[in-house]
């Protein structure tokens, strides 16, 4: 099977080889020093301010979304939530569950956030801002410089879900005034699913220490304290963390994050150019699109997007990424993260062309 979903994505050979190794005991100085290195490299790759820290959470990206909301905000806050897709909607849900006062900016799915959307929120006492870097369900890349400037100007704490956008799209905590941001192991890092990572600046560290959430597994102050000696409070996915270490070093040795951004952009551009004559509409406009994923709507009447996912899986041995909820029958997605070759992209394009020939697409 060839995998064009947005996670788990295709792992490279080096990561796979490590997956076969025995997993070492981890309460040792040897593992601690690997973890300290992981923390340093992740901070570098997020372009985080000095003295930033990382929470290594065993759990999905949602675990770190919820962990962040529990640790950075409380009932005295008033936050803005951008809801432009399934993951924006999840941020709304989390604010509701944890009773964080919020105002939602509800966008038509597939459309970007604009200056106009933010105007009404200037100087009216908001304290937090929650947004995706890339809304994975629609492929929209939000204008993080616009958002960062707005938050900086208004003294607002900015928490970014960069789970799928990190490495694919330009991202800098320093330049975009981000206080905390997340990614997940099974996205562009192309490791097995199991871990998510939150980078915290000084303000985020202060917030979670003050809030000191009433939860053991999500208690960030404990993670920060144990992290000082390169450890986690509970047994983490040790194998994934070793694969992370090797992967971060390979990234560093091959041009760093800038080069990763370029490679993702090259894959996305190549794909988007190759499908120009196929019966698809782009769900988000090119200039607002993440390099991580392309969301497509089949344009021929009567074509069901989920059915296309099934046929491509069962008859061509390729996974594209189905959408859920309201979008399920109209939209599917093609991911551009992980270890994907030009030949594999060509194989997918040929499959689409064959479906057109067969009158299915």
- Enumerate binding residues for a copy of itself (CB under 8 A): 1, 3, 5, 7-8, 10-11, 16-17, 19-28, 58-63, 66, 90, 93-94, 97-98, 184, 186, 192-195, 214-217, 233-240, 313, 319, 321-322
Cβ atoms of residues 128 and 156 within 8 Å = yes
Min dist CB 35 to a copy of itself, Å, is 14
Nearest CA among 210, 214, 211, 182 for reference residue 198: 182
Based on CB atoms, which residue is closest to a copy of itself, 5 or 261?
A: 5
Whole-angstrom Cα distance, residue 223 to residue 55?
6
Min dist CB 160 to a copy of itself, Å, is 19
Whole-angstrom Cα distance, residue 350 to residue 20?
34
At residue 71's C-alpha, the angle toward residues 157 and 73, to 5°, is 45
Based on CB atoms, which residue is closest to a copy of itself, 176 or 348?
A: 348
Nearest CA among 178, 171, 166, 175 for reference residue 247: 166
Min dist CB 309 to a copy of itself, Å, is 9
Min dist CB 221 to a copy of itself, Å, is 13
Based on CB atoms, which residue is closest to a copy of itself, 119 or 216?
A: 216
Based on CB atoms, which residue is closest to a copy of itself, 186 or 291?
A: 186
Based on CB atoms, which residue is closest to a copy of itself, 43 or 308?
A: 308
Residues 6+ apart with CB under 8 A from 130: 69, 79, 80, 81, 82, 91, 95, 102, 159, 161
Min dist CB 123 to a copy of itself, Å, is 32
**Cα separations in angstroms, 22 against 18, 230, 336:** 9, 21, 31
Nearest CA among 133, 132, 138 for reference residue 109: 138
Min dist CB 351 to a copy of itself, Å, is 16
Min dist CB 119 to a copy of itself, Å, is 31
DSSP string, 112-149: ---HHHHHTTTTS---EEEEESEETTTTEEP-HHHHHH
Based on CB atoms, which residue is closest to a copy of itself, 53 or 90?
A: 90
Whole-angstrom Cα distance, residue 262 to residue 149?
25
Min dist CB 358 to a copy of itself, Å, is 22
Based on CB atoms, which residue is closest to a copy of itself, 1 or 124?
A: 1
- Measure CA of the first residue to CA of the last residue in the chain; give whole Å: 21
Based on CB atoms, which residue is closest to a copy of itself, 81 or 156?
A: 81
For the chain, what's the residue count?
361
**Cα separations in angstroms, 317 against 2, 351, 352:** 7, 10, 13
Cβ atoms of residues 57 and 196 within 8 Å = yes
Based on CB atoms, which residue is closest to a copy of itself, 244 or 257?
A: 244
Whole-angstrom Cα distance, residue 29 to residue 230?
8
Min dist CB 146 to a copy of itself, Å, is 29
């Amino acid at each position: 099977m060839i995998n064009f979903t947005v996670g788990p994505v295709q792992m490279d050979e080096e990561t796979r080889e490590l997956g076969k190794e025995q997993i070492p005991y981890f309460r040792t100085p040897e593992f601690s020093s690997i973890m300290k290195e992981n923390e340093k490299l992740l901070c570098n790759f997020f372009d985080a301010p000095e003295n930033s820290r990382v929470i290594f959470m065993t759990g999905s990206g949602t675990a770190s979304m919820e962990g962040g909301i529990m640790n950075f905000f409380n009932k005295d806050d008033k936050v803005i939530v951008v809801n432009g897709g399934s993951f924006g909607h999840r941020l709304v849900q989390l604010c509701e569950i944890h009773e964080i006062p919020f105002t939602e900016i509800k966008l038509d799915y597939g459309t970007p956030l604009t200056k106009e959307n933010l105007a009404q929120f200037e100087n009216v006492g908001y304290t937090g801002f929650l947004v995706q870097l890339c809304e994975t369900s629609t492929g929209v890349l939000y204008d993080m410089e616009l958002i960062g400037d707005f938050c900086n100007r208004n003294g607002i704490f900015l928490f970014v879900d960069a789970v799928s956008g990190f490495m694919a799209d330009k991202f800098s905590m320093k330049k975009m005034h981000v206080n905390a941001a997340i990614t997940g192991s099974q996205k562009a890092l192309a490791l097995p699913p199991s871990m998510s990572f939150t980078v915290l600046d000084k303000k985020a560290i202060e917030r979670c220490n003050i809030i000191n959430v009433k939860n053991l597994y999500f208690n960030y102050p404990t993670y920060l304290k144990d992290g000082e000696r390169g450890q986690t409070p509970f047994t983490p996915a040790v194998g994934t963390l070793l694969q992370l270490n090797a992967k971060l070093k390979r990234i560093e040795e091959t041009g760093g994050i800038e080069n990763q951004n370029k490679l993702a952009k090259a894959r996305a551009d190549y794909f988007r150019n190759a499908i120009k004559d196929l019966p698809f509409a782009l769900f988000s406009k090119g200039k607002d699109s993440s390099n991580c994923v392309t969301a497509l709507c089949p344009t021929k009447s009567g074509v069901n997007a989920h059915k296309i996912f099934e046929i491509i899986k069962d008859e061509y041995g390729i996974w594209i990424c189905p959408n859920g909820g309201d979008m399920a029958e109209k939209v599917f997605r093609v991911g551009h993260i992980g270890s994907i070759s030009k030949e594999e992209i060509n194989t997918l394009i040929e499959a689409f062309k064959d479906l057109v020939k067969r009158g299915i697409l």
